[in-house]
A and B are shown apart, each in its own frame.
Chain A
Amino acid sequence: MGQQIVNGLFLGSIYALFALGYTLVFGVLDILNLAHQAVFMVCAYAALVLVGHLHLPMFAAFPVAVLLGGFLGMAVDRIAFRPLRGRSDSNIAGLISSIALATILEAAVVQVFGPDVERFPFGAVPTRSLKIGGAVVSELQIVIIAIAIAMLLGLTWLLRRTRLGRRIRAVAESPKAARVLGVDVDRIISASFFVSSALGAAAGVLFGLAFNNVSPDMGRSVELKGLAVIVLGGMGSMPGAALAGVALGLLEVFTVAWVGSSYRDAVAFGVLFLVLVLRPRGLLGSAALREA
């Protein structure tokens, strides 16, 4: 029981990590960036190359991969979204061009690394673990849970307390009004993409480390769960995304333990469906969904 709670918290933190970056652009700005999972994957490979081939220690490789993710995110915005902005159907058009970009990035990674699973070298990942009341928790799991909490607090602070956060919220409310007030909308969106993708990169590296498994399709395996977590938590709510991530992780783990792993996704998405029917704004959503 205690061990299953640890398993659930750990899995939930992974979902939350992925969703937090995702929701900054999707939940706040209403831009669905389907290349987010590709940035997540590419940066896991970047860390792999830095640690595995250039023999950098993990703590040095991590910030490099995160920065790379941020810039890659700005490139995604520049290539897939900005040229289409201002069109009447820019949301759908951008969504589709981001799928294209994700496919291109995945194909490039397959070209370079092949379709097989790659691994971090032994020793790159701390394998020590400690026992807490009968449950075994590894050092890496504690680090991942801690980083997820730090990201949640940092993002909430960024959105609520900083100039950038205020501007992001202004753009989210109405790009036109923000522009009238002298906000450089393109720059704000670009900055949001930077932060969002840097967080996505951090999640990618940690995800790769958590299961010591980096493959070209790793992003796809969490993409749907990430979207579910954002909707479940309430669009645009950072604490909501974190709470929903952990809830989904626990739900999955206990479904496997008590019902059977075949029903895991059925139960998880069944609950998502119920929440949407009974509480469309999500767990912590402050208002009804904005019109997309």
Chain B
Amino acid sequence: MIPSVRSLAATAVALLALPTLSSAENVKIGAAFSLTGNAAAYGAQQKAGVQLAIDEINKSGKLKGITLELVLEDDGTSKEQGIAVFQRFINRDKVSAIIGPTLSTTATAADPIAQQSKTPVVPVSNTAPKGITDIGDYVWRVSLTEGQVIPSALKVAQAKIGFKNAAILYGNDDAFTKGGFDVMKSSLEAAGIPIVDIQTFATKDRDFNAQLTALKAKNPDFLMVSALVEQAAAIVTQARQLGWNVPIMGGNGFNSPKLMANAGPAAEGVMVGTAWNKASTDPVNVAFIAAQKARGNDPDQFCAQAYTGVLVIADAIAQAGMKGGRDDIKAGFAKVKDLPTPLGKFSFLPSRDGSHPAAVQIVKNGKFEILQ
């Protein structure tokens, strides 16, 4: 995998070094994605996303005289390899900005290296609420955190269903599910929706009947669940077995096809927030999907976010007055505002986290569809 990527990059360098192009400035963008290892399924989509974006921008000539050059490497879904790749990008390839790495854990190890050497990093799939943009002022995140997805997903769901109160069920011995609960609770409070009951469970639990029965007795209009996917399937199944047909919205743990595989028909109608509204008829989104399909790829959220990452860097270069230095790009990020992307209009918040509309997916016939 790696040699072929490198040889591709080498070919790109060779092509760009042709005399006819020598007058143009090349700006190198490093992309570190999990092309092997546990997160390889995400990495493949991210790779397709950045490649399309780079090709389109170079072809369009938007960045007058500047050609973006992609240097793609595999972070191996590991901290160690992530660090090694970042060092290579910064010291050998002298990239102007880095996209990636795929997982938040890898980012917490690799991003500090970029911060130290003042190289801008654009995380496109890291959703951990804390510890990513906190690394420093060179980290500008495109991917929404769970804390951002849930409040806006909640608004979409409420507009659709019109529930008046809600209950929450969450795992209280796991940092991820507890974090999801905190966001659910605060967003319900912020939306002025009364929480009629809160129940908890432990990661090892298999039987949720007691909690579900207690919640059902309070008769909430809406149930939010923060759980890992294995428990998510069991909770949904047991709720339906109890004859309880309350609308259920899950946290990010539900965001996996495993939910449908494990819960089967019980998963029908379950909702989960998502950063990308695949069904959006925005022309940028429609064109993005068509271009990906033309290349033989059925894009997912990771692909759309990676694509957007490149658009954001290109816009930062333009905002900086067509300058592609590391500090130019960093300064340009602050001026990115309402940029049209497949994710919707994109801007950065003062916290250097991205901001754009989120959507709600609902399970229909065993597949996630966008709730419209």
What residues of chain A have their CB less than 8 Å away from a CB belonging to chain B?
Answer: 3-4, 7-8, 10-11, 117, 119, 122, 127, 129, 131, 136, 138, 210-213, 217-218, 221, 252-254, 256-257, 260-262
* Contact present for B210 and A253 (CB under 8 Å): yes
* Contact present for A4 and B210 (CB under 8 Å): yes
Give the residue name and chain of the B residue nearest to A131 (CB).
B243
Question: Across the interface, which residues of B come within 8 angstroms of A261, CB to CB?
Answer: 172, 199-202, 205, 210-211
* Contact present for A136 and B242 (CB under 8 Å): yes
* Distance of B244 from chain A, by nearest CB (Å): 9
* Distance of B159 from chain A, by nearest CB (Å): 32
What is the CA–CA distance of A117 and B262 in the complex, to the nearest angstrom? 10
Question: Across the interface, which residues of B come within 8 angstroms of A221, CB to CB?
Answer: 204, 206
Interface size class of B (residues with CB under 8 A): 20 to 34
* Distance of A207 from chain B, by nearest CB (Å): 8
What is the CA–CA distance of A3 and B239 in the complex, to the nearest angstrom? 12
* Contact present for B210 and A7 (CB under 8 Å): yes
Question: Across the interface, which residues of A come within 8 angstroms of B230, CB to CB?
Answer: 117, 213
Give the residue name and chain of the A residue nearest to B200 (CB).
A261
* Distance of B198 from chain A, by nearest CB (Å): 9
* Distance of B197 from chain A, by nearest CB (Å): 11
* Contact present for A10 and B214 (CB under 8 Å): no
* Distance of B253 from chain A, by nearest CB (Å): 14
* Distance of A188 from chain B, by nearest CB (Å): 36
Q: Which 8 A-B pairs have the closest CB atoms?
A: A256-B210, A211-B206, A7-B209, A253-B210, A257-B214, A3-B213, A136-B243, A261-B200
Q: 0/1 per residue, B137-181, Cβ < 8 Å to A?
A: 000000000000000000000000000000000001000000000
What is the CA–CA distance of A84 and B172 in the complex, to the nearest angstrom? 44
B105 contacts the other chain (CB 8 A):
no
Question: Across the interface, which residues of A come within 8 angstroms of B242, CB to CB?
Answer: 3, 136
* Contact present for B241 and A10 (CB under 8 Å): no
A-B contact count (CB 8 A): 64
Question: Across the interface, which residues of B come within 8 angstroms of A10, CB to CB?
Answer: 209
* Contact present for A129 and B207 (CB under 8 Å): no
Question: Across the interface, which residues of A come within 8 angstroms of B234, CB to CB?
Answer: 211-213
CB<8 Å pairs between A and B, sample of 19: A3-B216, A4-B213, A7-B213, A8-B210, A11-B209, A122-B264, A136-B241, A136-B242, A136-B243, A138-B241, A211-B207, A212-B234, A213-B206, A218-B206, A221-B206, A254-B210, A261-B199, A261-B205, A262-B200
Give the residue name and chain of the A residue nearest to B229 (CB).
A117
180-237 of chain B: CB within 8 A of chain A = 199-202, 204-207, 209-211, 213-214, 216, 230, 234, 237
Question: Across the interface, which residues of B come within 8 angstroms of A122, CB to CB?
Answer: 264-265
Question: Across the interface, which residues of A come within 8 angstroms of B199, CB to CB?
Answer: 256, 260-261
Question: Across the interface, which residues of A come within 8 angstroms of B210, CB to CB?
Answer: 4, 7-8, 11, 252-254, 256-257, 261
Give the residue name and chain of the A residue nearest to B243 (CB).
A136
* Contact present for A256 and B211 (CB under 8 Å): yes
Give the residue name and chain of the B residue nearest to A255 (CB).
B210
233-278 of chain B: CB within 8 A of chain A = 234, 237, 241-243, 262, 264-265
Question: Across the interface, which residues of B come within 8 angstroms of A212, CB to CB?
Answer: 234, 237
Interface centre among B199, B213, B216 (most CB of A within 10 A): B213
Give the residue name and chain of the B residue nearest to A1 (CB).
B217
Question: Across the interface, which residues of A come within 8 angstroms of B213, CB to CB?
Answer: 3-4, 7, 257
* Distance of B90 from chain A, by nearest CB (Å): 37
What is the CA–CA distance of A8 and B205 in the complex, to the nearest angstrom? 15
What is the CA–CA distance of A260 and B216 in the complex, to the nearest angstrom? 15
Question: Across the interface, which residues of A come within 8 angstroms of B204, CB to CB?
Answer: 217, 221
Interface centre among A7, A119, A218, A257 (most CB of B within 10 A): A7
Question: Across the interface, which residues of B come within 8 angstroms of A211, CB to CB?
Answer: 206-207, 234
Question: Across the interface, which residues of A come within 8 angstroms of B209, CB to CB?
Answer: 7, 10-11, 253
What is the CA–CA distance of A256 and B144 in the complex, to the nearest angstrom? 34
Given contacts A136-B242, A262-B172, contact A119 B262 (CB under 8 A): yes
What is the CA–CA distance of A257 and B201 in the complex, to the nearest angstrom? 12
Question: Across the interface, which residues of A come within 8 angstroms of B211, CB to CB?
Answer: 256, 261
* Distance of A170 from chain B, by nearest CB (Å): 40
What is the CA–CA distance of A256 and B207 in the complex, to the nearest angstrom? 11
* Contact present for B200 and A260 (CB under 8 Å): yes
What is the CA–CA distance of A136 and B204 in the complex, to the nearest angstrom? 25
Question: Across the interface, which residues of B come within 8 angstroms of A8, CB to CB?
Answer: 210
Given contacts A261-B202, A261-B211, 17 further A-B contacts (CB under 8 A): A3-B216, A11-B209, A117-B262, A122-B265, A129-B243, A136-B241, A212-B234, A213-B234, A221-B206, A253-B210, A254-B210, A256-B214, A260-B199, A260-B200, A261-B172, A261-B210, A262-B172
Question: Across the interface, which residues of B come within 8 angstroms of A218, CB to CB?
Answer: 206
What is the CA–CA distance of A158 and B172 in the complex, to the nearest angstrom? 45
Question: Across the interface, which residues of A come within 8 angstroms of B216, CB to CB?
Answer: 3
What is the CA–CA distance of A138 and B241 in the complex, to the nearest angstrom? 8
* Distance of B359 from chain A, by nearest CB (Å): 29
Question: Across the interface, which residues of B come within 8 angstroms of A136, CB to CB?
Answer: 241-243
* Contact present for B237 and A129 (CB under 8 Å): no
* Distance of A261 from chain B, by nearest CB (Å): 5
What is the CA–CA distance of A198 and B230 in the complex, to the nearest angstrom? 29
Question: Across the interface, which residues of B come within 8 angstroms of A252, CB to CB?
Answer: 210
